[in-house]
Every structure is written in structure tokens, then in C-alpha cells.
Structure 1
Amino acid sequence: MEVYGKALALAAGLLLSVAFAPAAVSSFDWKLPEGVAPPPVPIDNPMSQAKVELGRKLFYDADLSIDGTMSCATCHEQRRGFTDSNRTHPGVHGDPGKRNVQTLANAGYFRALTWGDPGVKTLEAQALIPIAGTRPVEMGFAGQEAVLAARLAGQACYRRMFGEAFPEVGGEVSMVTIAKALAAFQRTLVSFDSPYDRRRRGEAVAVSAEAERGERLFKAGCASCHAGPLFTDADKARFHRIDAPFAGDQGLGDVTGEAADAGRFRTPSLRNAALSAPYLHDGSAPTLETAIRRHRVAMRLGDRQVAELVEFLGTLTDETFVTDPRFSLPKPGCGP
């Protein structure tokens, strides 16, 4: 989901001079695995349980689309690691999607939050793009943001929840508070409990010999971009070209206008990748095998080695994350 049109103006105040509070000063209970630090949090949007619960309700509410047919969860399904099974997802008016839906797992740690625009650096700014963006139109509120605020403010449940989440502004219902609540919920979508993680913590978790060989291959040839515990360098806001530039969609080049940036895209995280087909920025790779083959560095690999890489990627599936009730569709009504 990319930043274009009026959503850019709406996001401007959230994009500039972002300051983050040290995780140590937060009293919010993240419920993270041992040894995992929480993501950074903007000073002007501290975490609270009331804010997270509001963000969760908004995330699953189709009222965030102009015709009431699409929620954030329409494209970000928990069982798929908060991705989507379509190559791209059309908007409420039938506009074709521009790019494949990326995972929200661990997005709070990222410094680049779209496939091709390094200017979108916070979840608060990104949240406004599908709601009010125009290239493409997704949820359809461009130019009608006041309609959304009035729609939510007209519901007693939301008046109560915004009041509890944002007492410092009198429970104001606005695009700013909507974005802040959505961002707070998305920061809780932390995934570090896969078999890979449990083995790293010293737990006795059996994996196949194929997966172990695949891990060695991965570290040798893939980990420079799919780096570290996030399995992406999006936390460093880096963009890469994996094969020839793509016709039409030039990725980073569409933003910078530089020929050297044509076909460069943000590295997607590989966590829960086995659940998130299809792959690549345009969803053109139906399987992990196909996606691996699209990388120049994989051209010399044999079928057995590609299969071993796929087997290793399967160990990054976090079943706890994709079934955690804290992240699922909330019950009707207000509050938890």
C-alpha cells in the first residue's frame, strides 16, 4: 500500500520530526518472548491498552471504507501472517491493486513501510494511505475524511473507546487519532516464536536435515538482505533489485526519478513466508520456489537446494502469532 494523493498531505504532520521514546520507559505490557525488545514508539503516541483495543476494533471494521465493504483485515488476514492470498487486492471501487500486500508482522521495527517509498517511516503515516490514498484508491475516503470521523463519532461505542484511548485530546475522533490507534495495534503484531526462534533460545525443537541445510544456504546467499532476526533490512530502509527492472512499476525509481533506482523494492520479511503466497512486489511468484528462482543469486542453485531453502523458510512460521486471540477479530461491542 503506497503513499499518493491527499493521503500524503494528511500524513505530512506524522512524517516530520518523528521522535521515538526509549522502550525502557514504557509501562505497556508487550507480552514478548524472553530476550525480545519491543519496537520503538513515537513520543507523541505512547502505548496504552485502551489505544491498542481501539486500534484492533478499527482494524477489523469495514466502516473504515467508504462503502462499508473493506477493513484493514480484508487485506491483512491473521491466518496468512497478516497478508493476502491475491496477487494484488482491488479497492472498493474496483480499482486494481498496485502491489502485493506485505506482512504486518514486526512492522513496528521497520523504517520503510511500503514497497517503494522510503518517505513513509511510521505506522501512523502508513495507516492513512489505504484509507485516503488515491494511487490506487483502496478504502475510498480521499477528500471525504470528515465523513469517516463523523461516522465513527456517531457511534456511542467509539465515543467511549476514543475517550479512553485519547483523554489528552478529549477523545477526539479524527484522522490523526484513527491513525494513532491503528498504529498502536499494529506495533503489538510481534512474531518471534517460530521453531527457528525457539531453537535459537535453546529449546529442543526438531527440524529436518533438509531445513538445516537450507539454513546454511540461506546464511550464505540470502541473509545480506533478508537480514537479522527480522529477516529483512526494512529496519534500515534499504531497497534492492533482484532481477531486471520491471516494466511500468519501477519501485523506488518511481519516487526518486533516478534510473539507478528502477526496479528496486523494499526487502519483504520472510517471517511466516510459507503462509503468504503469492510473492514479490506484484504477486507474480505463486510459490516460494518461484520467488527464489527470480533472484539472480539463486540461478546457480539446483532443485534440491531450492527445496532445502523452502524447508528452512517453513521453520519461520509462527503458529502462536497467527492464532493469538489478542490479534484476532474482536467480539462485537466496546472494549476487550
Structure 2
Amino acid sequence: MIAAGLARWALLGAALTAAAQGVASAADAPASPITIELGRRLFYDADLSINGTMACATCHEQHRGFADGNRTHPGALDHPGKRNVPGLQNVAQLHHFTWASRATTDLEHQAETPLLGQRPIEMGMTEAVLAPRLKASACYTKMFAAAFPEKNGEISLTTATQALASFERTLVSYEAPYDQAKRGGAPLSAEAEAGRAIFDGKGGCRVCHSGDNFTDDAFHALEPAAAGDRGLADETGRAEDSGLFRTPGLRNVALTAPYFHDGKAPTLAEALRRHGLALSEAETGALAAFLESLTDRSFLADPRFSLPDAACPL
């Protein structure tokens, strides 16, 4: 029987529905509590890497908006990372999940990239190793059986990535000061309000950073392509795609430094300067204050998204 602590997931129903909106895959419907809990346990489990040294959470840290503080992060086998780790808040509402790829259309397939990918090698896992390793755990045997009764408790790459995706769809963040003010709560500071006016007007930020998640989910060239990383062109081979990278969302952006696809901007102020905006120092400060109002502290500390208890929940 599911442990009493697992019942807290039942309170997430409204958030799950919101997270599923706007995503094309039929698999994005709200999942069962045990499937979500299984996904959370897998997300924090270093055994998903080939040598047991790296979990999804190694790079996606909750207190940083599920990003990390490095320019790039080396893989489990010490292969150098290629791009900066993106945050995961509201990830289910995206159509493109990485800096420069249109290849994956749902979170299930996206999970295969860090698990199995070779360019670069991140977790270094293989299908041949993954299933037997998970089957060796009595806890996982019970959890997969409860999460996937229609598949007779199948433990495979398919069910593991389905569980991971189910957990990721719960990573909903809409409780920042900006959101609360928008709903009639405490107003933003005068500086942050001035920054919002700049964001929407003079700064032109809304052109690309649009919508509730402050991204148009499209690819743009902000700077010329650097040697060794042609952006979207690395996938498509088309010269016109050289230097194109996806617009990052800005929720919890104050905590996700360094910035840009290669992490070359160490601070928020430097990231703003690299956009070439003709702003005074005071205007840049106001814009930064507005961006800081997008920090959702409750999301960063929500126990539903944190490291699970060592004890098996079943």
C-alpha cells in the first residue's frame, strides 16, 4: 500500500492540469501519484548514470530553479559539457526542450538525451544496463508494478522515461511576487515596476521573452555563432540556422546564473549588457529588479520536488 506521505501528490491536481496545457503529446495528461513519486526517485538516483556518479538532479538543482551554477557540466565519464544547464520550471509547457534542437517533441523522448546521448556523453547509460540495474532493486520492482499495472510492472527505458516525464510535469512555478501582484496581491516595488515598463517597452524584451513563461519557444541568433557550436545548425546542417538558440524562459532567472547557452555571462547585469540594450545604469538596475520578481521561493523549497526519503514508499 502506498505510504501516507505519498498522498501529498493528490493535492497537486490543479497544478498538473495547468502543466499539461499547451503540450501536444497525449502522454501529458496528469499521471498517478505513484508514477510521479517513481519519477522523482529516478530523478535523484545516480544509478541512472553508467558508473553511478550522476543523477538528473546533479545538474538540475531545485534551489537553482533546477539549473546549476556552472557554465557547462561535465558528464559522468568526464566528457566536457557542451551547453549551459537549463532550468526545468514549467518545462511541460515547452515544445523545444534544449538550447538548439527540434528533434524531441515530448518529455519522455527528451529524457533519453541525457541518459543515452553521445554528443556529448552526459549520463553514459545504455538500455542494456538500465533495466537490469533497476530490476535489482526491490523498491523499484514494487514501484514500477504499482505505477504501470497495465504493463505488468514493466521496467524498461520506456517506463523509466515515462515516470521521469511525469515528475517533470509537476514542476509548476507560478507563485513569484510577479504572479502574486498580477493576481491582486502585494504590489511590486517601484523599481521592479519601472523595470517591467522597460521590459515591455523600451527594452523590447517581450519580443522574444513573451507569454507566461517569458519565452516564445523559438530560435534566434543574438550573437554570431562561436567556433565549435553552430546552434541549431548542428542538428539541421543548414547554414541559415547557424547561431540560432532557443529563447530561454525567465522564471527564476535570478538564480540560474551563468547565462546564455554557453554560460559566458556570469551575472544578470552582464547578461543584460550582452543584449545590447541602450539603457542607463538605473534602467538596467530596474530591469534586473523586475527579473528578480520572477523568483518563486515556494517552488524552490517545495518538498514534493526535493530529494525523496531513503525508505521505499511502498
With the length of structure 1 as denominator, give the TM-score of the two structures. Answer: 0.86
Relative to structure 1, is the Cα distance of residues 279 and 32 closer, same or farther in structure 2, using a 3 angstrom cutoff? farther
Alignment partners' CA distance in 2, 1:159 and 1:31 = 26
Residue deviations 1:233-286 (CA, integer Å, cap 9, x gap) = 12xxx1011122222211111122222211110011100001111000000100
Alignment partners' CA distance in 1, 2:14 and 2:268 = 29
Amino acid of the structure 2 residue aligned with 1:277 = A
Q: What is the aligned partner in structure 1 of residue 6 from structure 2?
A: none
Q: What is the aligned partner in structure 2 of residue 166 from structure 1?
A: 148
Q: What is the aligned partner in structure 1 of residue 313 from structure 2?
A: 335
* 8 Å CA contact retained: 1:30, 1:38: no
Residue deviations 1:117-161 (CA, integer Å, cap 9, x gap) = 1122211011111111100111111xx322111010111100000
Alignment partners' CA distance in 1, 2:14 and 2:99 = 27
For residue 70 of structure 1, give the secondary structure of its aligned residue in structure 2. coil
Q: Which runs of 5+ in 1 are unaligned?
A: 1-27
With the length of structure 2 as denominator, give the TM-score of the two structures. Answer: 0.92
Amino acid of the structure 2 residue aligned with 1:123 = L
Equivalent of residue 39 in structure 1, options 20, 36, 57: 20
Shift of 1:29: 5.3
Residue deviations 1:89-142 (CA, integer Å, cap 9, x gap) = 00011100010000100000000011101122211011111111100111111x
Shift of 1:31: 4.6
For residue 153 of structure 2, give the secondary structure of its aligned residue in structure 1. coil
Amino acid of the structure 2 residue aligned with 1:184 = S
Residue deviations 1:43-90 (CA, integer Å, cap 9, x gap) = 346411111000000000000011111100000000000000010000
Q: What is the aligned partner in structure 2 of residue 78 from structure 1?
A: 62
Amino acid of the structure 1 residue aligned with 2:224 = A
Count of equivalent residues: 300
Equivalent of residue 95 in structure 1, options 55, 59, 79: 79
Q: Which runs of 4+ in 1 moved over 4 A?
A: none
Q: How does 1:268-279 map to 2 (within 5 A)?
A: 268-279=248-259
Equivalent of residue 232 in structure 1, options 215, 224, 227: 215
Q: How does 1:1-336 map to 2 (within 5 A)?
A: 30-32=12-14, 37-40=18-21, 42-44=25-27, 46=29, 47-141=31-125, 144-203=126-185, 205-220=186-201, 221-234=204-217, 238-296=218-276, 298=277, 300-335=278-313
Amino acid of the structure 1 residue aligned with 2:250 = L
- The CA RMSD measured in Å over matched residues stands at 1.7
Relative to structure 1, is the Cα distance of residues 313 and 32 closer, same or farther in structure 2, using a 3 angstrom cutoff? farther
Amino acid of the structure 2 residue aligned with 1:176 = T
Residue deviations 1:281-322 (CA, integer Å, cap 9, x gap) = 0001000111111114x1x12222111111100000000100
Q: Which runs of 5+ in 2 are unaligned?
A: 1-9
Q: What is the aligned partner in structure 1 of residue 7 from structure 2?
A: none
* 8 Å CA contact retained: 2:254, 2:295: yes
Percent of aligned pairs with the same amino acid:
53
